[in-house]
Copies of this chain bind each other. A is one copy, B any other.
Amino acid sequence: MTPTSQDLRVAVVGAGMMGADHVARITSTISGARVVAVVDPDTARATAAAATAPGAVTAADFEEALATTEIDAVIIATPGFLHEAVLMPALERGLAILCEKPLTTDEAASLRVLEAEQKLDRPHIQVGFMRRFDQGYQDLRALVASGDNGALLALHCAHRNATTPPSYSEEMLILDSVIHEIDAVPFIAGEPIVAVEVKKPRRNSLAPDGLRDPQFVLLETASGTLAVVEINVNIQFGYQVTTDAVFESGVASIGRETGLQLTSAGRAGVAVPPSFKERFGAAYDTQVQRWVDAAHRGTIDGPSAWDGYLASVVATAGVEAQKSGRRVEVDYAMAKPAFYDLDARADAVPSEA
């Protein structure tokens, strides 16, 4: 795709909740892009989502969409095990790609994707770790980088959901939920995770039968920063994601609830958002806008496929730690290819501020 002043023509693959959201977002909120195709084997779902995007066609699969209309870019919002099947043809055509997490569901598939991408001139895949676009995470990363309060020593992370469906399994605590902290911790700390351990406190009796919830996931980074992640997905009261960062001479916190403060009936306080949509809505908007802007420049502006690969390796170690009760060291199969050193590349373009 060549950068132009025209709108980016986007296909959205997967018309479930996330995909439908992206269709609406591109259409109503994002500048410089429009949805030209909505892809889903469930025709009713595809049609419903496409109805919100004037001029968009529907297709049962990605190949059909590619054959039907001109496409510059693709947002992949299918279940993770189907990602590779869209990533590969998208890479072949050199499309701009925004792929919801995880990149793929196993390391071998991730390595195949990385290999295919490296045949291109530069990275084309951005992975949907939207927290990187939340103002709090940006501020915290900047504070670490500034060194103003000395080195980062530890992180306390809490990730709380109101409830989970019966289908939610213990592995998903890591693969679906902590995966966000697995990406966010290196983003904040500026260095990779090297070991994982899982501790299991008393079980919440309100969790679905058989789910051992909450759990504490300990993530260690290369220099020894210890992140204690409370993953707690049946807390009932709403959605809450907070991080307290412990520095050598300070503590910084993000994610406390804000908004209208109401004093009534003997209480003073604020509302808790019901779900991730309210909590991270602005981050999703920013993520997609910056991805669109970067696509116009022929690049990405956010986590790359390499970041997606790193997260999946740590997540695999996390599941092993969860099962074994032991501390598991993370074994990355390869060093970071220069191809993914976005800032160091000769053709570097300004990335995130």
A interface vs B, CB < 8 Å? 5, 26-32, 54-55, 135-136, 139-140, 143, 148-154, 156, 158, 160, 199-206, 214, 216, 218, 220, 223-226, 228, 230, 232, 234-238, 240, 244, 246-254, 256-272, 274, 282, 289, 293
CA distance A269 to B203 in the complex (A): 25
Complex partner residue of A228 from B228, B236, B293, CB under 8 angstroms: B228
The number of times this chain is found in the oligomer is 4
Contact A235 B249 (CB under 8 A): yes
Residues of B within 8 A of A32 (CB): 31
Shortest CB-to-CB span from A153 to chain B, Å, is 5
CA distance A271 to B151 in the complex (A): 21
Residues of B within 8 A of A203 (CB): 153, 224
Subset of 7 A-B contacts with CB under 8 Å: A136-B260, A143-B262, A153-B204, A156-B156, A203-B224, A250-B263, A268-B271
CA distance A237 to B261 in the complex (A): 14
Residues of B within 8 A of A160 (CB): 251
Shortest CB-to-CB span from A137 to chain B, Å, is 10
- Give the most central of A156, A214, A216, A248: most B CB within 10 Å: A248
Residues of B within 8 A of A214 (CB): 153-154, 246
Q: Assuming A153-B204, A214-B154, A218-B199, is B272 touching A268 (CB within 8 A)?
A: yes
> Given A201-B226, A252-B262, list of 14 further CB < 8 A pairs?
A136-B259, A150-B206, A158-B251, A201-B220, A202-B224, A216-B226, A237-B263, A238-B263, A238-B266, A251-B263, A254-B259, A267-B269, A268-B269, A268-B270
CA distance A154 to B235 in the complex (A): 12
Residues of B within 8 A of A201 (CB): 153-154, 220, 224-226, 246
Residues of B within 8 A of A149 (CB): 262, 264
Residues of B within 8 A of A148 (CB): 264
CA distance A160 to B247 in the complex (A): 12
CA distance A246 to B158 in the complex (A): 10
Contact B250 A206 (CB under 8 A): no
Q: Assuming A156-B156, A201-B226, is B261 touching A271 (CB within 8 A)?
A: no
Q: Assuming A223-B202, A235-B251, is B263 touching A154 (CB within 8 A)?
A: no
Shortest CB-to-CB span from A22 to chain B, Å, is 13
Shortest CB-to-CB span from A142 to chain B, Å, is 9
Residues of B within 8 A of A257 (CB): 263, 268
CA distance A216 to B244 in the complex (A): 14
CA distance A153 to B240 in the complex (A): 17
Contact B272 A55 (CB under 8 A): no
Shortest CB-to-CB span from A63 to chain B, Å, is 26
Residues of B within 8 A of A267 (CB): 237, 267, 269-272
Contact B269 A269 (CB under 8 A): yes
Contact B216 A202 (CB under 8 A): no
Shortest CB-to-CB span from A310 to chain B, Å, is 20
Complex partner residue of A199 from B226, B265, B271, CB under 8 angstroms: B226
Contact B224 A237 (CB under 8 A): no
CA distance A238 to B267 in the complex (A): 9
